[in-house]
């Protein structure tokens, strides 16, 4: 069986709505490398969309899952609970930002965590309204799509969406949106569309993921906190993509001097196993009545075992510090390339949550075509990259934080060559 044969079977058996980036199929993977069914090797700078911060098949995660497999695989936590769920909740409570007492509930997917955060906020405040931001991505469920601030491809053909969801522009200096612009838009929203006393929560990503890796400015986050406190609104930080050492701290909210009321997490929480969660102030988390939260697979014991191992790995291998070192090396390399590749309009991101944005030289006009060519040529050379951004003109780098130095250097060499080749071709 080869990739072409399996692709034909895929196209016949699965719907086109599940978009697939690569035209090859994985056979095995190890740390930051993967091999397809034809034996070709790739350096993985996607990490399953930020899921494998600890790399593919980290030995400690594999061992933890195997040990749990020998005990039991499923009971449904809300039927027969188990100690590992409680232990993981305790560890998250201690390490989440903010000094108030906290509680944590576990679910399965990032979208499920977001949905439950909204449920908890509504239960705690008795209010229906929710405010999100342009460029945001919060999932593909109906509420997730309603909150998401990008129409194509996520919302096309799927309406109507849940009501009482409103959007404001997210700060984006490169494209002319300042913190003041965003705050004025919120003020206008309160005057024109929704009474702030009807708003349960404001949800935002500390660093927008699918939106283009734009980091929320510190003054913006501080102003959101003040606005929420003024009107009795809960602040929800969506850390599904930013969590677990990606930004150089365990959570991206640790970069700020204010804390959210609720925080969602998923992706790298369990090193490749499906697990998500909501952590927040204990009084808020206790607002829903018994039975209001949960799910058959929520907090699966195999995934919880993996998550406990992930937290140990982050500490033992100092992955927050490593994220900062690797991120700085990448940003320095891209910054140097800016002089010879004028399509590079911006290089940004905290820690190892790095992005490069491409625009037509001398302008801030997004260049999606150039971005696609860079991605395609890199893949031909064996480097897997992901595109993001409202204009699809941003490449985000999500390499495992455990990547070997030699493999990281090899990837930077490929990236250097590809960017220069594409600039010459475009000239």
- Euclidean distance between the first and final Cα of the chain, in Å? 41
At 322, is the secondary structure helix, strand, or coil? helix
Residue 102 tokens, joined: 């906290």
* CATH number of the structural domain spanning residue 97: 3.40.640.10
35-90 confidence digits (pLDDT tens): 999 999 999 999 999 999 999 999 999 999 999 999 999 999 999 999 999 999 99
Closest CA to 422 of 359, 355, 370, 357: 370
Measured between alpha carbons, how far is 103 from 285 in angstroms, rounded to an integer? 6
Q: Are residues 114 and 174 in the same domain?
A: yes
The answer to whether residues 222 and 124 belong to one domain is: yes
Say yes or no: 311 and 328 in one domain: no
Question: How far is residue 398's CA from residue 314's CA, in Å, rounded to a whole number?
Answer: 16
Q: Do 212 and 297 sit in the same domain of this protein? A: yes
83 lies in the same domain as 171? yes
Who's near 251: CB < 8 A, 6+ residues apart? 95, 96, 97, 237, 239, 242, 243, 244, 263, 265
Residues 147 and 162 placed together within one structural domain of the fold: yes
* Pairing mode, strands 394-397 and 386-388: antiparallel
Asked if 39 and 112 sit in the same domain, the reply is no
β-pair type (234-238, 262-265): parallel
pLDDT, tens digit (0-9, with 9 covering 90-100), for 333-349: 999 999 999 999 999 99
Domain end (from 316, 340, 367): 316
- Do 220 and 89 lie in one domain? The reply is yes
CA nearest to 361, candidates 382, 345, 383? 345
68 and 94: one domain?
A: yes
Contact 326, 409 (CB under 8 A): no
Written as tens digits, the pLDDT of the chain (427 aa) is 899 999 999 999 999 999 999 999 999 999 999 999 999 999 999 999 999 999 999 999 999 999 999 999 999 999 999 999 999 999 999 999 999 999 999 999 999 999 999 999 999 999 999 999 999 999 999 999 999 999 989 999 999 999 999 999 999 988 999 999 999 999 999 999 999 999 999 999 999 999 999 999 999 999 999 999 999 999 999 999 999 999 999 999 999 999 999 999 999 999 999 999 999 999 999 999 999 999 999 999 999 999 999 999 999 999 999 999 999 999 999 999 999 999 999 999 999 999 999 999 988 899 999 999 999 999 999 999 999 999 999 999 999 999 999 999 999 999 999 998 877 776 6
Are residues 221 and 296 located together in one domain of the fold? yes
Number of residues assigned to the chain: 427
Distance CA 203, CA 157 (A): 24
Residue ending a domain, choose from 284, 316, 348? 316
Domain coverage including residue 402: 3-57+318-426
Tell me, yes or no, whether 201 and 295 share the same domain.
yes
| Last residue of one domain, picked from the residues 316, 337, 354 | 316
Overall domain count for the chain: 2
Between strands 354-358 and 344-348, the pairing is antiparallel
What CATH number corresponds to the domain at position 395?
A: 3.90.1150.10
Instruction: Examine the domain organization and report whether 301 and 344 are in the same domain.
Output: no
| DSSP secondary structure of 209-260 | TTTT-PBPPHHHHHHHHHHHHHHTPEEEEE-TTTTTTTTSSSSGGGGSSS--
């Amino acid at each position: 069986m080869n990739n072409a044969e399996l692709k034909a079977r895929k196209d016949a058996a699965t719907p086109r709505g599940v978009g697939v980036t690569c035209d090859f199929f994985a056979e095995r993977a190890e740390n930051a490398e993967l091999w397809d069914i034809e034996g070709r090797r790739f350096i993985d700078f996607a990490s399953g969309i930020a899921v494998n911060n600890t790399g593919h098949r980290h030995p400690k995660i594999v061992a933890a899952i195997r040990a749990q497999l020998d005990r039991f695989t499923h009971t449904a936590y809300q039927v027969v609970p188990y100690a590992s769920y409680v232990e993981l909740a305790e560890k998250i409570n201690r390490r989440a930002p903010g000094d108030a007492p906290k509680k944590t509930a576990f679910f399965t997917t990032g979208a499920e965590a977001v949905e439950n955060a909204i449920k908890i906020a509504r239960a705690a405040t008795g209010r229906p309204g929710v405010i999100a931001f342009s460029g945001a991505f919060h999932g593909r469920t109906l509420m997730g799509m309603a909150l998401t601030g990008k129409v194509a491809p996520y919302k096309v053909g799927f309406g109507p969406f849940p009501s009482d969801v409103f959007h404001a522009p997210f700060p984006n200096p490169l494209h002319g949106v300042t913190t003041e612009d965003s705050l004025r838009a919120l003020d206008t929203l309160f005057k024109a569309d929704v009474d702030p006393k009807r708003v349960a929560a404001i949800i935002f990503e500390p660093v927008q993921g699918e939106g283009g890796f734009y980091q929320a400015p510190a003054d913006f986050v501080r102003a959101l906190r003040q606005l929420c406190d003024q009107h009795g609104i809960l602040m929800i930080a969506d850390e599904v993509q930013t969590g677990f050492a990606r930004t150089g701290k365990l959570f991206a909210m640790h970069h700020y001097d204010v804390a959210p009321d609720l925080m969602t997490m998923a992706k790298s929480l369990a090193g490749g196993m499906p697990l998500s969660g909501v952590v927040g102030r204990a009084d808020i988390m206790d607002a829903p009545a018994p039975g209001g939260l949960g799910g058959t697979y929520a907090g699966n014991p195999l995934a919880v075992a993996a998550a406990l191992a992930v937290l140990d790995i982050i500490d033992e291998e100092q992955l927050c510090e490593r994220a900062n070192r690797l991120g700085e090396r990448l940003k320095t390399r891209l910054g140097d390339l800016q002089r010879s590749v004028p399509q590079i309009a911006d290089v940004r991101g905290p820690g190892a949550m790095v992005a490069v944005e491409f625009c037509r030289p001398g302008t801030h006009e997004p260049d999606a075509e150039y971005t696609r060519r860079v991605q395609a040529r890199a893949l031909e050379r064996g480097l897997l990259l992901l595109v993001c951004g409202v204009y699809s003109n941003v490449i985000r780098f999500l390499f495992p934080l455990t990547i070997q130095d030699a493999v990281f250097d090899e990837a930077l060499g490929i990236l250097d060559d590809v960017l220069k080749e594409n600039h010459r071709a475009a000239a």
